[in-house]
């Protein structure tokens, strides 16, 4: 198994060749004079596609950054998990940490730098994908057989960025070709329609698996998984079912027998993994910061500094049934701070000892096979097959089966199962939106039904389901959502 997909020697040149400027409306490659001399050979295209993957590691997308406080603050996981009832910003709500705390309380404004960072870095990834898709047609691949795969990878990665942007911000610009500046916005529904076209194309071009010499690149299964998610988002359950059954029938993926064996650097790219964002410690800026960002104390990460984020809420703790084996694999509520003696809770899924400060080896799992089973249950609706899919995961978790006579609606039971199975994996907020439950769930959560003594005071849910378009983009001509 090869963990890395991007040679470290290429990343530094990629930052020069493909970086976008800080202004959103300047989407051309940073150094125009180099562009016409690039994209000439299959090797150039391979480097450029690797540059799109590199954008997934950004602090505004799937990575972490130390901009706001030692220990790291990230992009999508802050905007989704902390936004939901799964986690909060942690014990620190002052100073620079306030930017995270206001997101948890739905009190941020258009000047908040965290949504702005996600906006900028997502569009940087999109710009890199657009450059590849615009120029690859003119490149002669000769005897090489990977041209279609590169196109499929670029389409999938661009779709992944747009999927997050549309759910986070609503009406957004959607350039599909290499461009210098843009201003027009399209509705989220238009974005999803385009993603269906692009992901269908990507799935037709991507292989079931890549050669064993490379790991972590997007496959047909990754494109089909995101395609199914988009179909469910727009309410086309029948089309989602077709995509999901194709993944299952491929035989490429299967559940890992023990839930705890999904987590940690030694278990990455396992049989359940469909797509992961790759990180590698010991290569300058290629490591991840999740362990330090989520840990409760520096003793848990080899003495490196932490500033705890993504702390499980009491609601999340109470969501697990007694005996659920996923609980201890996902979080800990018994840790005693050696300095204060206070009991603390923290996410365990991404815990490891980094090789250096902010240099962990943990990947981020974007899609895994358990999600496919739960999405298929969602697509086909209540019935024996759907409960059978759910119960595969409950059996692994050491729990009894559920059925139609089990208390609650099918939708509530499915949403509950998704919550505990996929906790802290960036799914909860999007699930609440897709199921139409965000208002109801977040209103109950904000009322602070049962708050622990070390939890934050209750806040008032504002009903806000989208992040504001960053003010800098509004100042440049975009409409506020």
* Complete domains list, the chain, with CATH: 9-185+436-481 (1.25.40.390)
What is the structure's pLDDT at 44?
A: 95
Q: Say how far apart CA 161 and CA 134 lie, in whole Å.
A: 17
What is the structure's pLDDT at 342?
A: 75
Q: Tell me the chain's radius of gyration from C-alpha atoms.
A: 21
Nearest to 403 by CA among 237, 232, 394: 394
Residue 301 near residue 291 (C-beta atoms within 8 A)? yes
Q: Which residues contact 60 (CB under 8 A, 6 or more apart)?
A: 74, 75, 114, 117, 118, 119, 120, 121, 122
Q: Say how far apart CA 190 and CA 171 lie, in whole Å.
A: 9
- How is residue 38 written in tokens? 């690039």
Q: Say how far apart CA 111 and CA 473 lie, in whole Å.
A: 10
Q: Say how far apart CA 197 and CA 371 lie, in whole Å.
A: 22
**C-alpha dist (Å) from residue 66 to 72, 89, 247:** 4, 15, 38
Q: Say how far apart CA 199 and CA 78 lie, in whole Å.
A: 26
Q: Say how far apart CA 329 and CA 422 lie, in whole Å.
A: 12
What is the structure's pLDDT at 311?
A: 92
Nearest to 288 by CA among 271, 312, 264: 264
What is the structure's pLDDT at 25?
A: 43
Residue 96 near residue 81 (C-beta atoms within 8 A)? no
Nearest to 312 by CA among 326, 297, 340, 332: 332
Tell how strand 311-312 and strand 87-88 pair up: antiparallel
Task: Give me the residue label for tokens 């901009």.
Answer: 67
Bridge partners, residue 368, by sequence = 273
Nearest to 174 by CA among 135, 229, 132, 127: 127
pLDDT string in tens for the chain (481-residue length): 445 444 333 333 343 344 443 444 445 444 443 667 799 999 999 999 999 999 999 999 999 864 443 334 568 999 999 999 999 988 888 777 888 889 998 999 999 999 999 999 999 999 999 999 999 999 999 999 999 999 999 999 999 999 999 999 999 999 999 987 777 899 999 999 999 999 999 999 999 999 877 778 999 999 999 999 999 999 999 999 999 999 999 999 999 999 999 999 999 999 999 999 999 988 877 899 999 999 998 989 999 998 888 999 989 999 999 999 999 999 999 888 777 777 889 999 999 999 999 899 999 999 999 999 999 999 999 999 999 999 999 999 999 999 999 999 999 999 999 999 999 999 999 999 999 999 999 998 887 644 444 455 567 888 899 999 999 999 999 999 8
Bridge partners, residue 336, by sequence = 343
Taking residue 447's Cβ as centre, other Cβ atoms within 10 Å add up to 12
What is the structure's pLDDT at 400?
A: 98
How many helices (H) and strands (E) in the chain? 19, 8
């Amino acid at each position: 198994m090869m963990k890395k997909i991007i040679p470290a020697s290429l990343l530094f040149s990629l930052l020069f060749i493909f970086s976008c400027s800080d202004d959103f409306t300047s989407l051309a490659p940073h150094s125009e004079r180099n562009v016409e001399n690039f994209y000439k050979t299959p090797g150039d295209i391979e480097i450029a596609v690797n540059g799109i993957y590199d954008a997934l590691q950004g602090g505004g997308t799937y990575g972490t950054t130390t901009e706001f406080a030692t220990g790291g603050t990230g992009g999508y996981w802050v905007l989704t998990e902390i936004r939901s009832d799964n986690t909060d910003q942690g014990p620190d709500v002052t100073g620079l940490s306030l930017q995270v705390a206001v997101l948890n309380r739905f009190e941020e404004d258009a000047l908040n730098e965290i949504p702005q960072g996600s906006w900028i870095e997502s569009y940087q990834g999109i710009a890199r994908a657009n450059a590849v898709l615009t120029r690859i047609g003119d490149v002669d691949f000769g005897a090489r057989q990977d041209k279609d795969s590169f196109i499929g990878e670029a389409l999938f990665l661009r779709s992944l960025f747009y999927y997050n942007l549309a759910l986070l911000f609503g009406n957004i610009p959607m350039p599909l070709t290499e461009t210098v500046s843009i201003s027009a916005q399209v509705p989220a529904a238009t974005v999803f329609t385009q993603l269906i076209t692009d992901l269908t194309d990507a799935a037709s071009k991507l292989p079931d698996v890549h050669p064993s010499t490379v790991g972590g690149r997007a496959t047909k299964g990754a494109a089909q998984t995101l395609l199914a998610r988009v179909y469910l988002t727009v309410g086309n359950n029948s089309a989602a079912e077709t995509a999901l059954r194709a993944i299952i029938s491929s035989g490429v993926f299967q559940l890992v027998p023990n839930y705890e064996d999904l987590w940690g650097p030694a278990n990455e790219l396992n049989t359940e993994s469909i797509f992961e964002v790759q990180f590698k410690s010991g290569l300058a800026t290629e490591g991840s910061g999740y362990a330090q960002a989520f840990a409760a104390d520096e003793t848990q990460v080899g003495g490196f500094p932490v500033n705890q984020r993504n702390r499980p809420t009491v609601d999340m703790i109470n969501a697990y049934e007694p005996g659920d084996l996923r609980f201890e694999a996902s979080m800990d509520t018994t840790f005693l701070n050696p300095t204060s003696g206070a009991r603390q809770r923290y996410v365990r899924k991404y815990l490891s000892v980094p090789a250096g400060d902010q240099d962990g080896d943990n990947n981020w799992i974007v899609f895994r096979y358990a999600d496919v089973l739960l999405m298929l249950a969602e697509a086909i609706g209540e019935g024996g097959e759907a409960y059978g899919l759910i119960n595969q995961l409950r059996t692994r978790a050491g729990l009894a089966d559920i059925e139609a006579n089990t208390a609650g609606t099918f939708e509530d039971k499915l949403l509950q199962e998704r919550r505990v199975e996929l906790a802290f994996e960036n799914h909860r907020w999007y699930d609440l939106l897709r199921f139409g439950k965000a208002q109801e769930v977040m209103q109950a959560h904000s009322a602070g039904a049962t708050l622990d003594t070390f939890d934050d005071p209750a806040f008032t849910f504002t009903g806000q389901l989208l992040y504001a378009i960053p003010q800098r983009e509004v100042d440049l001509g975009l409409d506020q959502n």
